[in-house]
Amino acid sequence: MPAVHPVMSSVVLDDDPKLDPQVFRETLGTSVTVAPIDTTESFRAAVREHGARAAVATGGVDVTRDLLAGLNSLAVYGQASIGLDNVDLDVAADLGITVTHAPGYCVDEVATHTLALFLACVRDVPAHDQRVRDGMWSEWAGRELHRLRGDTVGLVAFGDIARAVADRLQGFGLDVVAYDPYVDAETMHEHGVAKVGVDGLCDAADHLSVHAPLTDATRGLVDDAWLDALPVRGVVVNTGRGGVVDEDALRAALDDGAIAAAGLDVFETEPPVGSPLRGRDDVVTTPHMGWYSAEARAEANETVAHDVARVLAGEEPAHAVGPAEW
């Protein structure tokens, strides 16, 4: 790795347990301060106090003009995540701050987690598990279950994670279609997936799996019209971003019996304190941990640490992201 000047290149690292300070210290060979930087106030205070040229977090703070303005020492912001919906990339570019992240670090984990949520919903596993724990022993106590083979799953977006999900779904004898205006039909065909528009997705899909990033174009994309088009045995899984699914519409669809179940690793507000989607027998929830494995954590830290080192040494980072790329 390029040499990083130990005095001029102070780095502030969020105290989120996802981040490994030792990896950054070994990679950068410079001062690394661990501090809570998950609010605008704490982020700005830490960068100013240490004259930090780099700050690294996990996505818990909105990176806006209010946060970045006047932080003249800051050269690079690294985020140990794939998604960057919390970062105003236009503002960062305008202020000359490089933004880098860890694309691809948890593709396998999120794809597998998607299937875990999907199958748990299809087979009503959590509700039956709870009944057995409560002393009940009856296969008839829950909702009616249906055979999965031959159903069609509609993928909302077709990036690396969705492609890995498609490969797994086909192993269960499922057909897969996908809506993604930025991916061509040939690429989808290479994965055995049919490209469709919104209407085609609604017409074909028995179930939905959401993998889209949260942007102005995707916020609330999966609404009541999409949900009403699913059959009553339909399952909705979201391991993308919470705001892509209209949570009020999802709750209404579940309340009305328009769909059977939902599996959610992400929510519009996290943690989802007071969310009516928590605690339901027909909703399987996990705490935005689809990314997690020891191997994925290590890869995220190493990827971001090496990119930060490149920026601080005046070199081009491997995973910088500009406004036009998101």
List 26, 270, 295, 315, catalytic entry: 270
List 53, 241, 297, 310, catalytic entry: 241
- Find out whether 10 and 33 touch, Cβ atoms under 8 Å: yes
Residue 231: asked if its preceding bond is cis (omega within 30°), the reply is no
Q: What are the CA-CA distances from residue 8 to residues 52, 109, 127 (Å)?
A: 8, 37, 56
Q: How far apart are CA 305 and CA 2, in angstroms?
A: 12
| Residues in CB range of 22: below 8 A, 6 or more apart | none
Q: How far apart are CA 293 and CA 214, in angstroms?
A: 23
List 128, 288, 297, 306, catalytic entry: 288
Give, rounded to a whole angstrom, the gap between the first and last alpha carbons of the chain: 28
Does the annotation count 288 as an active-site position? Answer: yes
List the beta bridge partners of residue 100. 78, 320
Does the annotation count 186 as an active-site position? Answer: no
Concatenated DSSP letters for 70-103?
T-TT--EEEESSS--TTB-HHHHHHTT-EEE--T
Does the annotation count 113 as an active-site position? Answer: no
Residue 216 tokens read as 């102005």
DSSP state of 242: G
Q: Which of 102, 35, 92, 19 is nearest to 62 (CA)?
A: 92
User: Catalytic positions, please?
Assistant: 241, 270, 288
